[in-house]
Amino acid sequence: MFFGSDTTAPAHPSVLKAMARANEGYPHSYGADHAMDEIRAQIRDLFEAPDAAVYLVATGTAANALILATLIDPWQAVFCHRSAHIETDECGAPEFYTGGAKLVLIDGEHAKISPDALKNALSTTGQVGVHGVQRGMLSLTNATENGTIYTPAEVAALTKIAHADGLPVHMDGARFANAVVAAGCTPAQMTWKAGVDALSFGGTKNGLIGVEGVIFFDPKHAWEFELRRKRGGHLFSKHRYLAAQMQAYLDGDLWRDMATAANAAAQRLSKGILTIEGASLVHPTQANGVFASWPRIGHRRAYAAGAEYYFWPEGASLEGPDDETLPARLMCSWSTTNDDVDDFLAAIRG
Amino acid sequence: MFFGSDTTAPAHPSVLKAMARANEGYPHSYGADHAMDEIRAQIRDLFEAPDAAVYLVATGTAANALILATLIDPWQAVFCHRSAHIETDECGAPEFYTGGAKLVLIDGEHAKISPDALKNALSTTGQVGVHGVQRGMLSLTNATENGTIYTPAEVAALTKIAHADGLPVHMDGARFANAVVAAGCTPAQMTWKAGVDALSFGGTKNGLIGVEGVIFFDPKHAWEFELRRKRGGHLFSKHRYLAAQMQAYLDGDLWRDMATAANAAAQRLSKGILTIEGASLVHPTQANGVFASWPRIGHRRAYAAGAEYYFWPEGASLEGPDDETLPARLMCSWSTTNDDVDDFLAAIRG
Amino acid sequence: MFFGSDTTAPAHPSVLKAMARANEGYPHSYGADHAMDEIRAQIRDLFEAPDAAVYLVATGTAANALILATLIDPWQAVFCHRSAHIETDECGAPEFYTGGAKLVLIDGEHAKISPDALKNALSTTGQVGVHGVQRGMLSLTNATENGTIYTPAEVAALTKIAHADGLPVHMDGARFANAVVAAGCTPAQMTWKAGVDALSFGGTKNGLIGVEGVIFFDPKHAWEFELRRKRGGHLFSKHRYLAAQMQAYLDGDLWRDMATAANAAAQRLSKGILTIEGASLVHPTQANGVFASWPRIGHRRAYAAGAEYYFWPEGASLEGPDDETLPARLMCSWSTTNDDVDDFLAAIRG
Amino acid sequence: MFFGSDTTAPAHPSVLKAMARANEGYPHSYGADHAMDEIRAQIRDLFEAPDAAVYLVATGTAANALILATLIDPWQAVFCHRSAHIETDECGAPEFYTGGAKLVLIDGEHAKISPDALKNALSTTGQVGVHGVQRGMLSLTNATENGTIYTPAEVAALTKIAHADGLPVHMDGARFANAVVAAGCTPAQMTWKAGVDALSFGGTKNGLIGVEGVIFFDPKHAWEFELRRKRGGHLFSKHRYLAAQMQAYLDGDLWRDMATAANAAAQRLSKGILTIEGASLVHPTQANGVFASWPRIGHRRAYAAGAEYYFWPEGASLEGPDDETLPARLMCSWSTTNDDVDDFLAAIRG
């Protein structure tokens, strides 16, 4: 009953096996090996993007911050949702890597930016010449921090607005696989075909040990990115072990299978919770996270049974009236089983 | 016959086994798990430093740059050898992480700083009030980039000079294990007992997949380091896989065994090369790297036999007079066998 | 009829005379001269702060950004109003000088932060450990960008909240003199007696050529500030000409006389505008700026008569219905005369 | 007898008069006024560069650091002489403004870089792919910190080497006027005709209060520079007072007259010193600084007579044998008179 985070889940056994296989021989360091050539080719195939620049880093924060720094100048603004990971959970990494760019925060239901909200933000930023920060780029999180997704059409509507002002678009895809599975689309449809210029192609939250792909659909950014990655301390000498993880991820579409399992677990959990008296969803369940509210008595029972998850926002107390409803976040992963879900629901019911 | 780098070697099998063992259960993310508690205790024991702040990152550049940034201000200078990794091989990561500090380069034979050279550098930096950068810290590399080591007494002589001016001292120990083994001392003797304030405790070049310990002997730096690590994108959500590597490294002193093997291979190689006509050492062989010069004909034969290593400095040509001597760098690792060495020597001899 | 900005006004003749007087002899450069000693003593007297660290820079952006960088770390947040100059008009200078700190924006009527709004912002920032940026400081603008002021009591209410969390407080006093005059208090009452830790003591918008005082009421920040000032290129070699301006400003309380004149002009203008049919104030007129709205026909007449001022927000059009009201900003300075005001009002009336 | 620095001299009376004239009316702020249009045209004429982008800032450090930051990326190197002002006297402003670029120091007699030394530095930097910092630009100081100059031919020889590697060239012309006068060439011959891409056109050390021109001969850098200037706090609201100084500087070639006077004073002083027994020049006297050595007894007499100047390097003592020679730096300015020189020489002679 571990719903605390998708990052507490173990890695898929195939990933460990790939690591062991990679532990042979003396390939060149720093990604100049055959494994990286293969991955580059596989990712270009998967994304139908034969010219894409493809890199691997080990953390989502590194992927996001390095992409942002590559796409904009220090005096520019990144437009993002107020709840975006780059704003709330990276301790200012975007500001650090960009040399002091500004994040302009956009509000919106269920952690999603609407076209109107984006237009409004664009119209009030960078309009005073040299005095204010300039408009730089748009960053979308998909799946969002609230377990919702943007469809390719929704992405396209936003990138069109950004591109009209000459702004490139980044997608923080820490949970990209979950979004693609939920949308029933291809990776290409969710990204460059919908106007996305660069993607953080998440693996860590979806069954890997610690690897995120970085994809620039326009390869002109490649060399700058490589320098920034090295300078940030994110170029691995024994790069083959990052490559091994990504190979396992790509082989047989393991990335899709794991996201499918995680999303299905979330659906089962979401539906189950709605059968509990007094329960309701805070956000629609579209990817691998369930954001729901139910009476305190159920939380008390779940915690007593050893369940792990967070009140959301954090800080609620188990002490108080039994029937007061308290919101929580429940994250599922590739390894969440039907039994895990059912045991958890049973625990809440008591 | 792979002597190109200690980073082309595979990881030790124990490391892979530890990774597999770590792939169980749902421990807390971001290093808030039991494994990190154990490592902290083990490293404090190993270094006889019960108060030390201990962290793990995945690359040597991250360890070095984050430590530097924690110890100094942007307007200060880091004194280091001209051939230090932080100067030559990190694409300016120290400047990036510190917010623009300056590296003041000190020359010295065999990549080592002498007390006089350090005194001279200190006497000509930070002497013009607010106009010039201020003196900030000393960074020593041990083992050095030229395969030599500082003994604890040599370290102490330098840290004493730095401390007299109030400057903290960092040791870049990407090859710390090799230095300790070569000096026949304890980790404590090589570090805080000799005046070192912070250590990059290297694992990646010595048989791990990608882990470096960061040790501050004065824990006052802990919280700032944690924030800088996160902000740099170097805090791993699935931290347990870094921890697993470090546990394997510490268990049964594997770190020492691997360094002993690497150093012994280098000694065998060094002695063997000296038996080749026209060969000589460029630097004394004290750790796991051999810096030697021998006639071009020998290089030609070695390359023809498939050996991998670098001319040092790079750029020499296999074309030219047979008997002209050309300098090279040969790196040994824990996995270098006597056969590897002997085959290589045989190849040179033709 | 120049109400475009308080920075289009000429300098007071006394300032030019002081510059001419300063143009004698060969005093030491970089502020190590007698003039700076005198100013330091005068400002300490004026602020009843015998230990204050006192510096001069030439622009308000430099004063603000250097103070912010001195008071916080790169991973911290500056709490400020959404319309603060540091957010809207400095092209990201705070982010640049701090090394990438984040500005957390607080909304509030008339460009003022309320205690509740501050508490709310504090309660939702820096609450997720290492993952988010940490709470750093509060920055208040007084007089505000909307022509209103905080009274000493209002300042004290806010600094008390900030100090309870250990956060220092900066006052952006680009129009400090106008605020002090409006509040009828002493400089000390408006600053350290109300809990302000550092002040940008504006001169440029109040009759000087280009000088801002920087005052740290706790001198522990002095040396770091001096280094940051130099490193930012804001230490003047011929510092005596900055000193001359500040001396003229302080002598006979010229600063107060000029602010009194500017505020009085704004009052006359504000009252006059309210006599125009259809006119109303957007913000109360408390300092030297009038934020008012009146029918387009009046704007058309004023512009036709050669008046200079800005629609606020910018971008409104003179084309359209006569009776539609449009908001504008009208800035007065020490040199605004009654005739200027009356001519302008007459122009609106047509 | 003030030879301490060219920055202790007063401003030329014409400059003060121009400031007073500028103190009329309500021109637009931030350089959007007619005065700046005129200056731009005048400087383009003077430099025979009709497309040049022209700006004004108030300090030499600002001019240099902003130009460097505009021309290179954070991961690049600036090649400069070890004694360059950007290395020794700006407290790391170049590193700060560039976001952490590296200064690669080149040695050379009399503070000058030789073509061979430049070639050598280029050949050993940026040669290890992504691992090291990349080659970025060349910065020349003319006149140098040692009172010598580069002729246009010497400049051309160096810029040709830099351009062959694609590197732009900056000239730190804090004493540009002195160099041009000494070389007997035009500003164009000393700059773009000799391959210089951007110039810090110094005024502060040559009779102004505090203004430096910034000239990019290729205007493509204009907008980036404007943003960096604003973000650095170096855009003046009351820009007209910078403009006034520069207008006075350009009118009737005052800049040339003042430099001519300063250089002539240095020649008189240099020749006079050589008549003193035991005296010799440390560097040739080519601009407005004399670097000479003479017996301690002469120094003792000069100081006793109230002369102001620096031992160079600083730190020598007036205590010691009478006949030991001690090196000193003597800076002349536009305001140094023949009497000043002769009195000083008389003082040395006793």
Q: What is the DSSP string of B180-238?
A: HHHHT--HHHHTGGGT--EEEEE-GGGT-SS-EEEEESSGGGHHHHHHHHHHTT---TT
Q: Tokens 């006889």 appear where?
A: B48
Q: Is the CB of C28 less than 8 angstroms away from the CB of D4?
A: yes
Pick the CATH number of D255-349 from 3.30.1330.60, 1.10.10.60, 3.90.1150.10, 3.40.710.10: 3.90.1150.10
Q: Has the ipTM of the complex gone over 0.95? A: yes
Inform me whether the C-beta atom of residue A13 falls under 8 Å from chain B C-beta atoms: yes
Inform me whether the C-beta atom of residue B17 falls under 8 Å from chain C C-beta atoms: no
Cβ-nearest to B59 among A27, A92, A236: A236
Inform me whether the C-beta atom of residue A172 falls under 8 Å from chain C C-beta atoms: no
List all residues of chain A from 76 to 95 with a beta carbon under 8 Å from chain B: 90-93
Q: What confidence tens digit (pLDDT) does each residue in A207-237 have?
A: 999 999 999 999 999 999 999 999 999 999 9
Asked if residues C249 and C255 have their Cβ atoms less than 8 Å apart, the reply is yes
Tell me: pLDDT of B126 over 90: no
Question: What are the chain C neighbours of D210 within 8 Å (beta carbons)?
Answer: 58, 236-238, 241
Question: What are the chain C neighbours of A128 within 8 Å (beta carbons)?
Answer: 88-89, 314
Inform me whether the C-beta atom of residue A233 falls under 8 Å from chain C C-beta atoms: no
Among chain C residues, the shortest Cα distance to B100 is held by: C99
Q: Which pLDDT does position D281 carry in this prediction?
A: 98
Cβ-nearest to D95 among B95, B127, B130: B95
Question: What are the chain A neighbours of D227 within 8 Å (beta carbons)?
Answer: 73, 75, 130, 134
Chains that touch A (3 or more CB pairs under 8 A): B, C, D
Among chain C residues, the shortest Cα distance to D210 is held by: C238
Inform me whether the C-beta atom of residue D155 falls under 8 Å from chain B C-beta atoms: no
Q: How far is A254 from A18, CA to CA, in rounded Å? A: 13
Averaged pLDDT score across all residues of chain D? 97
The number of beta carbons lying within 10 Å of the beta carbon of residue D256 is 17
Chains that touch B (3 or more CB pairs under 8 A): A, C, D
Question: What are the chain A neighbours of C74 within 8 Å (beta carbons)?
Answer: 92, 95-96
Best mutation target among D102, D120, D329 (most B Cβ atoms within 10 Å) is D102
Inform me whether the C-beta atom of residue D241 falls under 8 Å from chain C C-beta atoms: yes
Q: What confidence tens digit (pLDDT) does each residue in C146-155 have?
A: 999 999 999 9
List all residues of chain A from 134 to 153 with a beta carbon under 8 Å from chain B: none
- Give CATH for domain C13-254: 3.40.640.10
Q: Which pLDDT does position A238 carry in this prediction?
A: 98
Inform me whether the C-beta atom of residue B128 falls under 8 Å from chain D C-beta atoms: yes
Q: What confidence tens digit (pLDDT) does each residue in C61-80 have?
A: 999 999 999 999 999 999 99
Residue D46, C-beta contacts closer than 8 angstroms, at least 6 positions apart: D187, D250
Among chain B residues, the shortest Cα distance to D127 is held by: B314
Inform me whether the C-beta atom of residue A73 falls under 8 Å from chain D C-beta atoms: yes
Question: What are the chain C neighbours of B135 within 8 Å (beta carbons)?
Answer: none
Q: Is the CB of A227 less than 8 angstroms away from the CB of D30?
A: no
Best mutation target among A26, A70, A224, A242 (most B Cβ atoms within 10 Å) is A26
Among chain A residues, the shortest Cα distance to B18 is held by: A16
Asked if residues C112 and C81 have their Cβ atoms less than 8 Å apart, the reply is yes
Asked if residues B265 and B336 have their Cβ atoms less than 8 Å apart, the reply is yes
Asked if residues C286 and C182 have their Cβ atoms less than 8 Å apart, the reply is yes
Inform me whether the C-beta atom of residue A100 falls under 8 Å from chain C C-beta atoms: yes
Question: Where on the phi/psi map is residue B315: left (φ > 0), alpha (ψ -120 to 50), or beta?
Answer: left
Asked if residues D113 and D145 have their Cβ atoms less than 8 Å apart, the reply is no
Q: Is the CB of C74 less than 8 angstroms away from the CB of B231?
A: yes
Rg (CA), chain A: 21
For D310, phi then psi, to 5°, come to: -115, 140
- Give CATH for domain B13-253: 3.40.640.10
Closest alpha carbon to A24 in C55, C260, C169, B11: B11
User: Any idea where the domains of chain C sit in the sequence?
Assistant: 13-254, 255-349
Q: Is the CB of C92 less than 8 angstroms away from the CB of A103?
A: no
Q: How far is A111 from A132, CA to CA, in rounded Å? A: 27
Q: Is the CB of D231 less than 8 angstroms away from the CB of A75?
A: yes
Q: What confidence tens digit (pLDDT) does each residue in B70-123 have?
A: 999 999 999 999 999 999 999 999 999 999 999 999 999 999 999 999 999 999
**In angstroms, what separates the C-alpha of A311 from chain C's closest C-alpha?**
13
CA A201 vs CA A175, A179, A190, A272, B347: distances in Å? 8, 11, 12, 31, 46
In total, the C-beta contacts within 8 angstroms joining chain A to chain B are 140
Q: What confidence tens digit (pLDDT) does each residue in B1-29 have?
A: 899 999 999 999 999 999 999 999 999 99
Chains that touch D (3 or more CB pairs under 8 A): A, B, C
Q: What confidence tens digit (pLDDT) does each residue in B24-64 have?
A: 999 999 999 999 999 999 999 999 999 999 999 999 999 99
Q: What is the percent of chain D with per-residue pLDDT over 90, rounded to a whole number?
A: 98
Q: Which pLDDT does position C63 carry in this prediction?
A: 98
Inform me whether the C-beta atom of residue B130 falls under 8 Å from chain C C-beta atoms: yes
Q: How far is B326 from B334, CA to CA, in rounded Å? A: 26
Tell me: pLDDT of A127 over 90: no
Question: What are the chain C neighbours of B29 within 8 Å (beta carbons)?
Answer: none
Tell me: pLDDT of A61 over 90: yes
Q: What confidence tens digit (pLDDT) does each residue in A285-331 have?
A: 999 999 999 999 999 999 999 999 999 998 899 999 999 999 999 99
